Amino acid sequence: MTVLWFTGLSGAGKTTLAKAVRARLPSYSFILDGDDLREGLNQDLGFAEAHRLENVRRVAEVAKLMVKAGVLPIVALISPSRQGRALARGIIGQGFTEIFIHAPLAVCEERDPKGLYAKARRGEIRYFTGIDAPYEPPLAPELMIDTVCNSVEACADKVLGFYGLPSLRSRA
Ligand SMILES: Nc1ncnc2c1ncn2[C@@H]1O[C@H](COP(=O)(O)OP(=O)(O)OP(=O)(O)O)[C@@H](O)[C@H]1O
Ligand SMILES: [Mg+2]
């Protein structure tokens, strides 16, 4: 069973695409979103490197449990470091599918859907990925999705098409 692991900058479109993909899949899929997890399970973690790694590790372990339960997890997590994603790949194993949700930093900053880039530029938040914390793009992701040149619908189609997963929309 597969784990769809969306990695990318804040504002690249991970949550938006996870929802679009989820909406086209049968009910056995579930979104593990970084924001939701940080509100509960990972609320004790900050954004320094060690905490980000622990964040990734916990999410990978939860995804692994979901797979055991027959659920298809869609993980939407910045997961900025190659080390962290390698850790997740090691935990999940065969089904781990790294999907690079890509938009250049300038575009993400322009979108700034949560106003976080503006806060980071004003120095109101620290360790913000892309501003004062690094994002290491995947070197060999299973799939890369360009969210600048493609609409949300087209991006979701690409993810589903890659797996040969049936799109509810195209069946209609
Ligand atoms: N093709 C596209 N795919 C996804 N999002 C897009 C696309 N085109 C424009 N957008 C816009 O980009 C923004 C992406 O925000 P979103 O919250 O999904 O990012 P995120 O990667 O989940 O960020 P974060 O890591 O902060 O949670 C939204 O405002 C969305 O409408
Ligand atoms: Mg998000």
Whole-number Å distance between alpha carbons of 125 and 41:
22
Q: For residue 3, is pLDDT > 70?
A: yes
Digit-coded pLDDT (tens) for 130-166: 999 999 999 999 999 999 999 999 999 999 998 776 5
Per-residue confidence (pLDDT) for residue 164, from 0 to 100:
74
Residue 172 reports pLDDT greater than 50: no
pLDDT tens digits for 66-124? 999 999 999 999 999 999 999 999 999 999 999 999 999 999 999 999 999 999 999 99
pTM (predicted TM-score)? 0.95
Residue 61 has pLDDT above 60, yes or no: yes
For the ranges 9-18, 22-31, 159-168, the one whose mean pLDDT is highest: 9-18
Contact 73, 65 (CB under 8 A): no
Query: Which pLDDT score, from 0 to 100, does residue 168 have?
Result: 52
Question: Structure tokens of 155?
Answer: 């991006």
Q: What is the pLDDT of residue 28?
A: 86
Question: Which tokens sit at 74?
Answer: 């869609």
Distance 15 CA to ligand 1 centre (A): 6
- Residue minimizing CA distance to atom 10 of ligand 1: 13
Q: How far apart are CA 100 and CA 143, in angstroms?
A: 6
- How far apart are the CA of 95 and the centre of ligand 2, in A? 22
Q: Which of 130, 121, 97 is nearest to 11 (CA)?
A: 130
Please name the helix (run of DSSP H) or strand (run of DSSP E) that holds residue 98, with its range, or none: strand 96-102
Q: Is the pLDDT of residue 169 over 90?
A: no
Please tell me whether residue 147 adopts helix, strand or coil conformation: coil
94 Cα to the center of ligand 2, angstroms: 25
Could you tell me the two tokens for 45? 């973690």
Among protein residues, the one with the nearest Cα to ligand 1's atom 16 is 13
Question: What residues are neighbours of ligand 2 (ion), with CB under 5 Å?
Answer: 14-15
- pLDDT beyond 60 at 30: yes
Find all residues with CB under 8 Å of 86, minimum gap 6, and list them: none
Structure tokens that stand for 157 in this block: 């189609």
Region of 165 on the Ramachandran plot (φ > 0 left; ψ -120 to 50 alpha; else beta): beta
Counting from 1 in the atom list of ligand 1, the atom nearest the Cα of 77 is: 25
- Please give the residue that has the higher pLDDT: either 170 or 16: 16
pLDDT computed for residue 171 by the predictor: 40
Query: What does DSSP say about strands 29-33 and 72-76: parallel, antiparallel, or unpaired?
Result: parallel
The verdict on the CB of residue 12 being under 6 Å from ligand 1 is yes
pLDDT at 93: 95
- What integer pLDDT is reported at residue 162 of this predicted model? 85
Residue 97: CB within 6 Å of ligand 1? no
Cβ of 152 closer than 6 Å to ligand 1, yes or no, is yes
Angstrom distance (rounded) from CA 51 to CA 127: 11
**pLDDT, position 166:** 58
